[in-house]
Chains A and B, each alone.
Chain A
Amino acid sequence: MSQAPSRDENPCRPRHYKPDPCGPAPLEGPARQSLDTSHTRLLITAALFCVGFAVIGVRLLEVGLFAGREAPLAPRTVAAHLVPERADIVDRNGVLLASTLETPSLFANPKQIIDAKDAATRLHRVLPDLDEAELYQKLSSDKSFIWLKRHLTPREEAQVNRLGLPGLQFQPEGKRVYPKGNLAAHVVGYTDTDNKGLAGIERGLERELRNRSEPLQLSIDTRLQYILRDETQKAIAQFNAIGGMGMIMDVNTGEVLAMTSLPDFDPNNPGTATPETTFNRATLGDYEMGSVFKIFTIAMALDAHVTTLEGGYDATNPIKIGRFTIHDDHAQRRWLTVPEIFTYSSNIGAAKMALDAGTDRQRDYLGRLGLLTAPRFEIKELAAPLVPAVWRPVNTMTIGFGHGMSVSPLQLATAVSAVANGGVLHPATLLKRPEGEAAPGKRVLKPETSVEMRKLLRLVVERGTGKLANAPGYLVGGKTGTAEKVAHRHYATHALLSSFVGVFPANEPRYLVLISIDEPHGNKQSFGYATGGWIAAPAVRSTIERMASIVGIPPVDEDSPEIRRALMVNMPSPPGRKLAAN
C-alpha cells in the first residue's frame, strides 16, 4: 500500500475536486492495523494450502503415471490358511505316506431347524450310517452348534446340499489320509478325528508335524517296505503262523529302511483295527530271540580275548544246572571249535563260552550294545528289555544262547548292525539322515572282532543252519534263531518264534534283514520243521534277492580269490550227515 497523502490534504489540489463521497474511507489507526494483519494471515494460509495441494498433486501424478514401478508398501503374504495344518509324511524318496486333505464336515444349528422330525428322516435317508433317533435328538436340542458327521465324501456333501434344509452347514476340515494303506501302518501310525497323533510317527513327532511346513522325510523306502511285508506275509501264510515281523536296516547309519509287523491295519480306518493288529511287534514286542543271541556271546568272547577263532569248548555232554538241562538241538557230541559252535548253533558251547567270559563282562557287553536299556526312537510304542533282576551263573549261561532275556527286534537289529559294520553302534532312526553327513555312533567292538564275526556269519549261511538264506552272489551272512515262547511262565515247546537275521554282502555289510515268524507250523515243504532256518531264512533270502538290485548291489562271484580270502575261516569240513537247520 502506498502511503500517498490524501488528496484533500494536498495543497495543490484543484478547486473543483471533491472527495468521492462513496469511496473507501481511508482507514487510520488500529482498524488499518488489524486489516493488514488479517491480510498477511490469509496469504500465509493460502501459501500453505498451495504447498499441500502441490504435494498431493505431485504424488498423484507419480502414482498415476509411474504406477507399479516401486515396491508395494507392505509385502502381501498369501493367506495363512494355505499352509496345511499338519505336515505331510514322505518316504526317503519323496513318496507320499500321509497327507492332510480338506473335507467338508456337517454341523447343524438346531435353533434354525424348522421341523426336526422331518429333517432327521430326510438326513437319515442320505446318510444311512447316522441313527435317525439320535439325529432327531441332536436336531431338536437347544444348542446352536452340534456336529452331525465329520469328513463327508463329495457325493454325500452334494446329497445333503440337495435336501435344501435350513440350519445345516458345512465346515471344511483337514482329514489325514494314508494313500499307501496298510503298507507302513505301524511306522506312520494314525490320528484321531481332530488330527491328533495316536500311534507311530504321528504320535511320536506330534509337535514336529504341527509346526513344520515342509514334508517330514522318513528313512523308510516304500519299495523295500513292500518287498519285506510281502515276503513276511508269504511266510506267515505258508507256515500257518499267527503273525510276524520284519526289518531292513542300513548297518552303516542305523536308518530303518523298512519295518513291518503283521497282522497290520488300515490307518485310514483305525476304528476297525483290533489291539492285535495295532500292536507293533518290531518295537513294542519283547521276545527271547534264541540262538541269534549267540552272535553277541561270540563277539564278546572274541573282543575280550576270552577265546579265539581257533579255540573251542567241549560239547559232548549236556550241562545240568539246578533243574535245567542245557542240550544241543543238533548235538555233535564232541569238542567243538568256536566257528563250529556258531555254525551248528551249539547251546552247550555258547553257554560254556558265556560262563568263561563271566557275568560282569556279559552285562557290560550287552549294555554297550544297547540291549539292557530301552532305546531312543522316533515312535513311542517302545518296549524296554526284560532282563533278570539277579544275574546268576545260570542266567549268564542261558542268555549266552538267547534265553532268559527279552529284547525288541528293533534293539536286536541295532546291535547286530554294530557287530557287522565294523563295531560302531549307530542308534536306530526312522528319519532320513542328511546325505554326506557321518551318522552318530560310538565304538563298541574292535574292528578286528567285526571282521571275524562277518566270517562266522557267512559260515552259518554257507555251511550251517542258515543255508536256505543263501542268495547266490550276494554273500549273505546271518544267524538263525528259534525260541520257545514263554507261556504261563513255562516254555511252550510247540509255540516257537523262528527268526533269521541276515547281513549282506558279508565282506562289507551294507544292509541287515531281520524276519521273525510267530508260532509257525512246519509243513511238507519244511519237512515238518518250524525252526528259523526253515521258516525265516528262505524269506530273508527272497527279500535280499528282490531288494539287491533296488539298492544297487550287484551280484559277485562268490568263488573269486579275493572274496574267498576275505571270508576264509579254518574249519573242518562238515560231517557227512545232513544238518537240520535250527
Chain B
Amino acid sequence: MIRPSTALWASAVIVVGYAMFQVKYEVMQQEDQLARLNRQIAESREAIRVLNAEWSFLTQPTRLGELSKRYLNLVPIGNAQLGSIDAIPLRNGAQAGAVAQPAATPAPPPPHPVARPEPRPGARLAHYDPSTE
C-alpha cells in the first residue's frame, strides 16, 4: 500500500514537472516571437528607409517643377503680389484701430484671370519608373 506521504510527493513531482515544461515551452515560444518581432522591426525600418529615399527622390525640386508646369496652372508668387496686412485700407466708416468685422473685409479677389484647364483624361502622376532608381 502506498503511504500518503509518498502519494503526496509523487503527485507533487508530476505537477512540478508538468509546470516546468509548461514554462519552458512558453519561454521558447516567447523567444520565437521576440526574434520574429525583431525581424519585423528590421524589415519595417528598412522599408521606411527605402520609402524615405523614394519620397526624397520623387520630391526632387526639378521633377516637382516639371510636374507643376505640366499639371498646374500656377506660377511663383511675384513681388507685386506680396504685401502686409497693415497696407490694406479699412473700409469707409470703420474706425481706425478697431478690429475689422468679417463684413468689413475687402471684397473677395476677382477670379483667377486664366481658366484652369480641364484635367486631361488619364492625367496622373504616374510617370515614375522604379527601375530608374
Binding site for B on A (CB under 8 A): 53, 56-57, 60, 63-64, 67, 76, 78-79, 81-82, 84, 95-97, 99-102, 153, 155, 177, 179-181, 183, 222-223, 226, 471-474, 545-546, 549, 554-555
Contact = CB atoms under 8 A, between A and B. Distances in A.
A420 B110 CA distance: 42
Given A60-B23, A545-B79, A555-B82, A76 B53 contact: no
Contacts of B52: 96, 99
Given A64-B23, A222-B61, A101 B79 contact: no
Interface of B: 12, 16, 19-20, 22-23, 26, 34, 38, 41-42, 45-46, 49-50, 52-57, 59-62, 76-77, 79, 82, 84, 131
Q: Return the 6 tightest CB-CB contacts between A and B, nearest first.
A: A179-B56, A226-B61, A179-B57, A96-B56, A99-B53, A179-B53
B128 to A, nearest CB: 12
Contacts of A57: 12, 16
B46 A102 contact: yes
A539 B116 CA distance: 31
Nearest to A549: B77
A99 B19 contact: no
A60 B16 contact: yes
Contacts of A474: 79
Contacts of A67: 26
Nearest to A90: B56
**Interface secondary structure of B, over-half rule:** helix
A451 to B, nearest CB: 26
Contact of A177 (B26, B53, B76): B53
A179 B60 contact: yes
A466 to B, nearest CB: 18
Nearest to A181: B60
21 contacts: A56-B16, A57-B12, A57-B16, A60-B23, A64-B19, A64-B23, A78-B38, A79-B38, A82-B42, A82-B45, A96-B56, A97-B56, A99-B53, A100-B49, A101-B46, A155-B131, A179-B53, A179-B54, A226-B61, A471-B79, A473-B82
Contacts of B54: 179
Q: Which of A56, A96, A222, A472 has the most CB of B within 10 A?
A: A96
A302 B76 CA distance: 41
A100 B57 CA distance: 14
Given A82-B41, A101-B50, A181-B57, 11 more contacts: A53-B16, A56-B16, A95-B59, A179-B53, A179-B54, A179-B56, A180-B57, A180-B60, A183-B61, A549-B77, A555-B82
A473 B45 contact: no
A242 to B, nearest CB: 22
A78 B53 contact: no
Nearest to A50: B9
Nearest to A99: B53
A26 B7 CA distance: 32
B48 to A, nearest CB: 10
Q: Is the interface of A mostly helix, strand, loop or mixed?
A: mixed
Contacts of A555: 79, 82
Contact of A549 (B56, B61, B82): B82
A97 B61 CA distance: 13
B90 to A, nearest CB: 19
B61 A223 contact: yes
Contacts of B79: 471-474, 545, 555
Nearest to B87: A557
A474 B79 CA distance: 9
A400 to B, nearest CB: 37
A180 B56 contact: yes
Given A79-B38, A81-B42, A101 B53 contact: yes
A420 to B, nearest CB: 22
Contact of B60 (A76, A78, A183, A473): A183
B120 to A, nearest CB: 27
Contacts of A96: 52-53, 55-56
A364 to B, nearest CB: 42
A474 B82 CA distance: 12
A167 to B, nearest CB: 27
A95 B64 CA distance: 15
Nearest to B59: A95
B56 to A, nearest CB: 4
B130 to A, nearest CB: 9
B84 A554 contact: yes
B28 to A, nearest CB: 14
Nearest to A472: B79
Contacts of A179: 53-57, 60
Given A63-B23, A78-B41, A554-B84, A99 B49 contact: yes
Contact of B82 (A99, A177, A181, A554): A554
B41 to A, nearest CB: 6
A455 B131 CA distance: 54
A291 B7 CA distance: 107
Contacts of B53: 96, 99, 101, 177, 179
Contacts of A180: 56-57, 60
Chain B CB count within 10 A is highest, among A82, A155, A181, A474, for A82
A212 B9 CA distance: 59
Given A81-B42, A554-B84, A226 B62 contact: yes
B55 to A, nearest CB: 8
Nearest to A546: B76
A226 B19 CA distance: 67
Nearest to B63: A181
Contacts of A60: 16, 19-20, 23
A155 B132 CA distance: 12
A84 B16 contact: no
